[in-house]
Amino acid sequence: MATGLHSCLLHHGEEHPLLGPAILRSPSYTSINVQDDHVSDSNGEDDDDHQPQPHLHLPFLNIDQKMLTEMVRDKDYERLLQFGGIKQLLSVLETDDKAGINGTEADLLHRRDVFGSNEYRQPPKKAFFRFVLEAFNDTIIIILMGCAILSLGFGIKQHGVGDGWYDGGSIVIAIFLVIIVSSVSNFRQSRQFQKLSSETSDIKVQVVRQGRRQPVSIFQLVVGDIVCLNIGDQVPGDGVLVEGHSLKVDESSMTGESDHVEIHEKDNPFLFSGTKISDGFGTMVVTSVGMNTAWGEMMSSIRRELDEQTPLQARLDKLASSIGKLGLAIALIVLVVLLVRYFTGNTVGDDGKKEFNGSKTNMDKVMDSVVRIVSAAVTIVVVAIPEGLPLAVTLTLAYSMKRMMADQAMVRKLSACETMGSATTICTDKTGTLTLNKMKVVEFWLGKEVMEDDTYLGIAPTVLQLLQQGVGLNTTGSVCNLPSTSVPEITGSPTEVAILTWAVVDLGMNIDEQKQRCEILHVEAFNSEKKRSGVLARRVSDRAIQTHWKGAAEMILAMCSHYFDKGGLTKVMDDDTRMQFGGIIEDMAAKSLRCIAFAYKQVPQENGQSHESLEETGMTLLGLIGLKDPCRPGVRRAVKECKEAGVKIKMITGDNIFTARAIAMECGILKLDEDLNNAVVEGVTFRNYSDEERMEKIEMIRVTARSSPFDKLLMVQSLKQKGHVVAVTSDGTNDAPALKEADIGLSMGIQGTEVAKESSDIVILNDNFTSVVTVLRWGRCVYNNIQKFIQFQLTVNVAALSINFVAAVSAGDVPLTAIQLLWVNLIMDTLGALALATKRPTNDLLKKPPVGRTKPLISNVMWRNLLAQAFYQVAVLLILQFKGMDIFKVDEKDKNTLIFNTFVLCQVFNEFNARHMEKNNVF
């Protein structure tokens, strides 16, 4: 059979080797087309039935998505080889390993039509009717419905259908409105949480399309996309590794195994959607998206419930339950007292005669009186139960979440809203949070000489070439030369972008040339513990092997035994020279510059054969650069506001101690008159303290430099032991334990990794420390608003309970009926709660000390206001109850109407009083 004319038919259900790059499908069999040439069968005759015409191009229509999915899911490396390897797979998916897919609208649409979109089927949304049923199942509602039916029945029996339905019917209408208000509120909150859930899932993915690296929404990802992966990224779809270095993946979300899996081109190039990159970097080609991935199947069966009960809601439920039990006890006492008074003949009717006169009393009248007494007791229960408290908290939290989103803070966990108001310490990163994260190389030292713009031309060619190699090969960023513009498009982390921009503009580096001239043998990826990255590369021209390191200046300096001068001469680095370089690094750090060093070493051929590790001694220093990352505007003021609010700020950074100190001074975290020896420590010193020493010094520490993720975790644990409520800001993958350990984890929305975001409670969308202060302000506002409503609600309850109890025991009747109190509660729990719950935060909130862990929910000021207001209301209402008829010359009905109107007006003014708890004059 002639080469290029092979075809193979694979019947479904049979296991046959896959022999080619494109899997073609038909209803009864799958045909595999090895070549794009015109195909003939073994007799040389054209097979027009099953082969496409040579010039008819119908991309993907015959690719079997199921086989692609199974290949990755089963980690079937043999099947990948049968495809023809990764190169043939890329060819089948019409993608280039460097330039990616075409990426036009038509191309993207076609790929989605064939392979599906990267979205999961969501579980069915909870219908509004379900919320209505849940509201009906509330114990209080059931009790009230029972009372309404009894009231309706006895009312109709006593007064007839025309007049007897008023009380019972009104209670039914009030209950119906309570249910509707509660259902609508919960339904809207549920929809808001679902919207939030989709927003938290909408992460940005770095893909290569038309030769450009660009961020796209994870939902816009298509099969064939080349995705760039770095530490902390979430794998956005199932796929196969194209190229990678030291790549490790955390597959615990899929397999439950905690050990990180090594991914490499040989044996195991398969990546699962939903897993996290724990080390290294690389690129992958997407083979399955959405419901065709194992993650998609799993996620479609999970309903993410964000409307969890917060600690404050739990406390309020407990409070409401306690008050309800108290009300029930008082109602029972009233019931017993009234029944005893009635059946002992101590009550008189409207005609002035005894209501109960033994067996002479008509049974219908006895039943009417008993129902009236039971109704009075039930009224007391209705009054006592503050069912509006949980609803008020829900309204406050839902409103705050919506407003915080507009203020650049996305709440992932409801409890964080209220906990943030209690924060006493904030542990913050430096880069991107306190600073702009817009770095620029402002200093370059070659040897002991600082290089100015006009002296770059004097650099020796050998040194220039080594510097270009050190930057171009040892980077996770990319440089794209667009035909439409003369300025190259540089992407990557802010540090990488700054270094690449400097190399391209000042050193004249062409990154593509550097990568063509050298073959990369091994890569040591950067992470926050090592604070350096390295690459082992072989030059194509002479097969010479070189090691290049880049990283924190003092760490790279410790690896060096020689250095280059401007003229290209290699000089020995003795102790005096090393101290001089140390002084240069300190001077740059004192100017708030991040100092990065480059070093290289020529590796003997015999030692470079394993290619599994990089030389770390005997390096030659190529140069030092200083990167300026200016402080964010307004950060100094934000730090000052936190201090005035009684919240301590601690900066934990990976920079050296001099840079950290300079930035802390610039931001206002440190003052010149402070004892800097105790205020600034290095991570290694902090972690080597004894437990007693650490607990003694932790209050004084303001800045931790050269800290590792473990140091941050240790700081959080120590502060919590001291009784602090700790908030932590972070963007790194390795900081996930500290974010989880903290009372409030705040991750960065722009620079933060997906691992950090998932571990956090709140995402700061603009990476700005001033937004952290805004979150603090909102947290206090939430707590304050809830306290206001508690004061308002409990005052009403105490006043109504007292007046009804005293009146019931003394007069045998209650002036405030169940229906009246239900209507008051209905308005109070909705409009009253909204009025207090939706107050925006003010700067006055930051003038108070933090609440902390142990302060009671009802403060002394609240007790003062509550008792004073309740005493005033009870006194006025009791005067009206016992002397109202004489004072105003009215009958019993008018007196009760007077009491009710006075009670309502008291609550209107009580609402004003609750607006400012500390102030005597609320206006």
Residues labelled catalytic: 429
Please state, in angstroms and as integers, the Cα–Cα distance from residue 107 to each residue in 120, 224, 307, 554, following that order. Answer: 22, 11, 40, 50
Q: How many angstroms separate the CA atoms of 39 and 44, rounded?
A: 9
Secondary structure (3-state) at 212: strand
Among candidates 823, 828, 820, which has minimal Cα distance to 789? 828
Bridge partner list, 597 = 551, 624
Q: How many angstroms separate the CA atoms of 400 and 392, rounded?
A: 12
Q: How many angstroms separate the CA atoms of 537 and 234, rounded?
A: 29
Distance of CA 503 to the CA centre of its chain: 36
Q: How many angstroms separate the CA atoms of 598 and 616, rounded?
A: 13
- Provide the 10 A C-beta neighbour count for residue 339: 15
Q: Is 160 left (phi over 0), alpha (psi -120 to 50) or beta?
A: left
Among candidates 238, 220, 241, 216, which has minimal Cα distance to 297? 238
Q: How many angstroms separate the CA atoms of 878 and 872, rounded?
A: 10
Q: How many angstroms separate the CA atoms of 18 and 8, rounded?
A: 9
Rounded to 10 degrees, the C-alpha dihedral 288/294/297/302 comes to -130
Close Cβ partners of 86 (under 8 Å, ≥ 6 residues apart): 80, 97, 240, 241, 242, 265, 269, 285
Give the strand order in the sheet containing 22-25.
7-11, 29-33, 22-25
Please state, in angstroms and as integers, the Cα–Cα distance from residue 301 to each residue in 238, 653, 722, 759, 877, following that order. Answer: 18, 41, 42, 22, 58
Helix axis angle for 363-384 and 769-811, nearest 10°, is 160
Contact yes or no for 599/474 (Cβ under 8 A)? no
Token pair 């075409």 is found at 102
Among candidates 210, 392, 413, 216, which has minimal Cα distance to 309? 413
Q: How many angstroms separate the CA atoms of 624 and 595, rounded?
A: 7
Q: How many angstroms separate the CA atoms of 444 and 498, rounded?
A: 13
Q: How many angstroms separate the CA atoms of 375 and 579, rounded?
A: 90
Query: For residue 217, what is the DSSP state?
Result: E
